[in-house]
Structures are given as structure tokens and as C-alpha cells.
Chain A
Amino acid sequence: MLLKTKQLSKSFGGLKAMNKVDFELPKNEIRGIIGPNGSGKSTFFNLVSGIYDTDPGSYIEFDGHDITNAPAHKIAEYGLSRTFQLLRLYQDMTVLNNVMSGYHTRIPYRFFDAVVGRKKIWDQEKIIKEEMMDLLSFVGLADYAELNASELSGGQRRLLVLARAIAMKPKLLMLDEPAAGLSPVNVDNLMKIIMQLKDKYGLTLIIIEHILKVVMDTCNTVTVFDHGQKIAEGSPQQVKDDNAVIEAYLGKKMNDEEMRKALAV
């Protein structure tokens, strides 16, 4: 298993945002996570990536390392990368510097070499820059490399956070609503790019997504959260037909017509 959690819990005051979740993810899988607003999807990401501390009794393992309450930067060093629901772009940095900063864990030279400005730094910086420009071309942002991230459109920003998260060549990439707010055409385009990047870099993916069509079309397995608990898990088809899911997530059992509409979003 690439990622494994046991009894993963987190409370905020009295609220159990994550309640004893056992989760396993094998390599190379594309996992979807769905659930109503406030069901704990983003909290799950924040716990796994070390942004939040877990409650006592929780256990998280990533790629053979016990990462329970490890600092976020350590977890990233093990090869876990993520995006944020609110993007957290580096607004006042150039597009190129945004992706290059994602390369941090792979930088081969030492701090001291950087201070004294040895030639090998500039050689390596040149290589990093070329590789990151290729990545930008791949997502279609090469022309914007010198602009500030704040100057990009909504769709371009989503591509940029994706590129920045991939720059570290992660083993596991966790995307928090990557397509939120995009038009249907752009959603398709983004998903196509994500799938190409998955193949190119051999990624394992977890995608939180509200757009059901995306989840149904791309994920191998879907995990459903509600009130901080895992209420279902299985293939998209299984999950769609699960009574508990239908109740919690879709509100009521849908007839075929309604289901078609929901999936066409």
C-alpha cells in the first residue's frame, strides 16, 4: 500500500471532522473522494499531508514511512504532493518561480554551494529551469512564465497549481477539487492533462471532486465521506448504487432521469 490510515481522527472542539477512518490506497490507482460539503474531505488531505496534527490513536503510513504527525515538509520529502481547495498560489511570484518552487525537494545542491555561488549551482539551476519550462509548455502556460501568478485567469491558475504540485515528481498526488469553477470544456481539458501527467510521471492519484461525472469517468475506486466517516467505498458503479451514499450525498434516491442529469453536470 502506498498510503494507509488507521483510526484517523480529528476533532475541532466538539466537531468530529474526521472520525476513525481506515483508508488504503495501492500504487497506481486513481482514487476519487466524494461527500457532501463539510464531510471531511479536505480535512483528510490536511491530516495526511501534515498540515493538521491528528488526534491521539490515529496512524498514517506513506510508502513505508510512519508519517503520523510528521511535519509537512518531511512528508513532502517522502514524495507526497497536494493541491489546495483555495489554490494557495504564490500570487506575487512569477509563474515560472511558482513551478520552480515546487522543485524544492529535488534540488541536488547544498545550501553552502548556493551561498558561495559555485558554478555547479548555475548549471543545475539551468537544468531545473528547462525542465520546469517544459512542464509549463505541457500545461500550456509557457508564454506566461514571466508574468505574476496573480495575472492568470481562473483556469490558468488551476493549471499552474497542478504543474507546481507535479514539479516535485511525487509518488502520490492529491488534488482537492482541481476542476472547481471550470466550464465543462475546461473540465475535460484539465482532466485530459491530469491523465497525461499521470502516465508521464507514473503517479498515484487521489482526487476530491464534486463534479460527479469526473469521478465516475476517471476513478478506479471511489471513497465516500459523510460527517467525517467513511460510509462507502468501491467502484464508481457500486458507489453510485449504494443506498447510504444515495441518502447522504444525493439526498434521496434518484430515478434514472435525475441520475443522468446529475452525472451530466
Chain B
Amino acid sequence: MDKFKQIIADYPFIAFIIAFGILALLPPFVLTDVYQSHLASLIFVNIIVAAGLNIVKGYCGQVTVGHVGLFAVGSYTAGTLFLYMGMGFWVTLPIAIIVTAFFGVAMGIPSFRLEGPYLALATLGGGEAIRLFIENGNFFRSTFGISDIPAPSLFGYNFDTPDRYYFISMTIMIIAVYFSFSILRSGVGRAFMSIREDPICAAAAGINVKKYKILAFILSAMFAGAAGAVYAHLPPGYIHPNNYTVIEMVTFLAMVVLGGLGHIWGGIIGAIVITIVYDLTRPLYKYQLLIFGLTIIFTILFMPKGIGGFIDRYFITKRFKAKTGAEKNVT
């Protein structure tokens, strides 16, 4: 067992291959109908968004309320590339990621001068501007949405039903989570955290604060862009401006907050829980914004580090007790 742990520590991607294997074996058991498969893909899309949001918000500490706009950029890049140029998923995905990265730069530049609520307002403005832009141009088929965006095929195999598309969204989710883990567990993740905790001290410690801030925005935008494209191509392949509103933004925020801001598993745990709750509460759609708003508030009040932090706390306290015999470092 220890040897196995060591191998994983040296080659973390093995853990991801195992995760892939397990998730690939699941469909016959859990994805019993079309709806379940569809929901699974939604969970994966949300995990990608939340993992990215956790980089910029959770780790780097930059408040952003415009992230849903970046998600929309990803979707609409894919959607319009298909609509006007007939491009398929394997082309639209990388282009969507690149285009969204550029929007991430624009979204991140205000962070050089603004903090906290002011940065929140600036990014909110950015996100809303994107949505209004999409909503008001016939170019984006704002009234009826863009439909029939085709699912990808590979070697002649078509992933055009929800239970088949599961493998596409799942694979991309695994890759995205792998990247997020690699980034966050390295010195880059520590640089992000230092900036969150104290940018002046971080600068004095040799961290180029502007560079890492913009990097955090770009990375998280790339995640949002990938998620947006995966979402656009999700059968039946339909996108509409109504899916990129402030309600979705609050939902994304609820995911990272509930899962644990700045916890490496934070976005992932949160995305799974919130997507399922979101789905179960669909009949109460009038109250969803309220529910997720309250979730954010109560989590921050009673479990500031979210589910991930809560679980960590338990084990850290236990180990500290074993080492020192003390219940807590009471000072």
C-alpha cells in the first residue's frame, strides 16, 4: 500500500488514469437512462468550470463575478464556428479555449488596480457585457438560440447520444482536473495563495504579482472556455443566452464556496453536490437563486473552508494530536 502511494506521488497521472478507468466502467450501472447520462455530463462541465474558478478565486483570491461570461464565450465560440463555418468539436474546442483565454486577460486586467467589491463590480460588468452582446445580435441567433451543434465523432464512432457523450465530457473533465492539480500543487499554486494572503509580502518574496494574477485569470478562463465548448456540443447541442445569466454565476460560486475555496478538491466536490441539488430543485426554479445564495452565506459563516476544508481539518487535528498530544495549539 505504501509502495502504491509512492508510485502515485511520483507519477500523479496514474491516479487520473485509474479515475478514468473507474468512470468509464460506471455507465452500465448508474447511467440507466438518457436523463442520467445528460446529468452526468452536466456535472463534468460544471467540474471543469469550478476547478478553473477555484484557481482564480479560491487560490489567487481574485473576486470574479464575470466567470459565467467566459463560459459563454467558450460556448458561443464553438456555436458560431459550427454555425458559420461548419466546424466540428475537435476544432471548436481548442479555438474556444484560446479565444476565452484572451477574454480572461481582459477580465483580469482590472485586478491590477482593483480589489474586493470593486473588482467584483468590474468583472460583473465584464460578464454582463458579454451576455448582452450575445443577446442583442442576430449574429448569435439570440432569440431562438443556436441548435443542432453536432456531437463529435472519433474514428467513425459518433458520440451523439447522452450516454455516448458521457465519455467525451468525462475525458475532458479528467484532463482539466489533472492540469488543475498539477498547477495548484506546484510552486505556481503557492504563488497564487501568497498573492491571495498578502500581495505586498508576496512581492517581497520574489513573486511577480501582476504576472501571476493575470496567469490565474487566463488559466481559469481556459477552463471556462473548454467547459463552454463541451456544453455547447452536448447533445442535443443547443445554447441560448438564458443559460449564461447571473443565476448560473451564483451557482458556480456556490460550487467553489461549498466545496472549499482554495482547497484542491473544492471545485470538484462543490460541482458534484450543487449540480445534483440544482437538478433536484428544478421544480422550485423560482427559489434557486435564493437557495444557492443562502448556501454561499451559510457556508461562509459556518464552514468557511467548505466541505474540503472541513474534512482536512479533521485529519490534521488528528495527526497533530498524535504528534504532540495536544488537542489544539491553544495560545
Contacts and interface: CB of A to CB of B under 8 A. Distances in A.
Contacts, number: 127
A193 interface: no
Interface string A57-84: 0000000000000011100110001101
Nearest to B262: A92
A37 B13 CA distance: 55
A143 B319 CA distance: 10
A154 interface: yes
Contacts of A152: 329, 331
B331 A154 contact: yes
Given A51-B200, A117-B12, A76 B331 contact: no
A265 interface: no
Nearest to B185: A125
A249 interface: no
A81 B204 CA distance: 7
Interface string B190-201: 110110111011
B11 A73 contact: no
Contacts of A90: 193-194, 197-198, 201
A143 B320 contact: yes
Nearest to A128: B187
A122 B203 contact: no
Query: What range describes how many residues of A lie at the interface?
Result: 35 or more
B320 A97 contact: no
Contact of B188 (A51, A84, A114, A128): A114
Contacts of B10: 119, 122-123
Interface string A36-57: 0000000000000111000000
B186 A125 contact: yes
A168 B205 contact: yes
Interface stretch (A26-34, A104-112, A183-191): A104-112
Interface of A: 49-51, 71-73, 76-77, 81-82, 84, 88-93, 97, 100-105, 107, 109, 111, 114-117, 119, 121-123, 125-126, 128, 143-144, 146-147, 151-154, 156, 164, 168
Interface of B: 9-13, 178-179, 181-183, 185-188, 190-191, 193-194, 196-198, 200-209, 215, 262, 316, 319-320, 323-324, 328-329, 331
